[in-house]
């Protein structure tokens, strides 16, 4: 089964890029500089920011449905992000290099109906299995260690 992996839309974040640290702090957002080439995954580009690049760390409501699974968590977005990444039948770099990704399958109403954990390098099979489950509308990928939202996965 063909699938897409999509980062967050860049548009809601663009007004934040370049704001002063004080203006960001008023919104509960912190500016960080990547201290290594891995460990700072951007939710827009679905790539890790390289050492020295700035990112914004903020809370983001990734599961807004009014269900018990409503959720938000910390995310990074690169201040240089200009385009949302969308892949077809390909696992983006920020997911592929992680040892464990939690895949959470939801129905149209935002209720979780299944889940799996798999290595980032081997996500295609569990994605296809979950998308084949009756009632699954979409999958959210999360970094298993910290639990942070990573990306949305849907049928292509």
Beta-bridge partners for 101: 118, 143
User: Residue 45's pLDDT is what?
Assistant: 98
Pair 50, 37: CB distance under 8 Å? yes
Is residue 10's pLDDT more than 90?
A: yes
Q: What is the pLDDT of residues 67-124, one digit of tens each?
A: 999 999 999 999 999 999 999 999 999 999 999 999 999 999 999 999 999 999 999 9
Is residue 1's pLDDT more than 90?
A: no
- The model carries a pTM of 0.94
Q: What is the pLDDT of residues 22-77, one digit of tens each?
A: 999 999 999 999 999 999 999 999 999 999 999 999 999 999 999 999 999 999 99
Q: Where are the domains of the chain?
A: 3-155
- CB-side exposure of 67: number of CA atoms within 13 Å? 13
**What's the CA gap between 137 and 51, in Å, rounded?**
36
Q: What are the residues whose beta carbons fall under 8 Å from the beta carbon of 102, sequence distance 6 or more?
A: 115, 116, 117, 141, 142, 143, 144, 147
User: Residue 138's pLDDT is what?
Assistant: 98
User: Residue 24's pLDDT is what?
Assistant: 98
**What's the CA gap between 86 and 98, in Å, rounded?**
18
Is residue 146's pLDDT more than 90?
A: no
């Amino acid at each position: 089964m063909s699938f897409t992996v999509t980062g967050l839309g860049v548009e809601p974040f663009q007004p934040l890029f370049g704001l002063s640290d004080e203006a960001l702090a008023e919104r509960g957002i912190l500016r960080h500089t990547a201290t290594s080439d891995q460990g700072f995954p951007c939710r827009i580009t679905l790539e890790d920011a390289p050492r020295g690049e700035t990112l914004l760390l903020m809370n983001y409501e990734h599961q807004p449905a009014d269900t018990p699974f409503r959720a938000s968590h910390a995310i990074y977005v690169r201040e240089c992000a200009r385009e949302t990444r969308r892949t077809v039948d390909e696992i983006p770099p920020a997911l592929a290099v992680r040892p464990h990704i939690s895949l959470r399958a939801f129905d149209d109403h935002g209720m979780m109906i299944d889940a799996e954990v798999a290595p980032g390098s081997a996500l295609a099979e569990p994605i296809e299995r979950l998308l084949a489950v009756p009632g699954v509308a979409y999958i959210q990928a999360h970094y298993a260690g910290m639990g942070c939202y990573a990306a949305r996965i849907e049928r292509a």
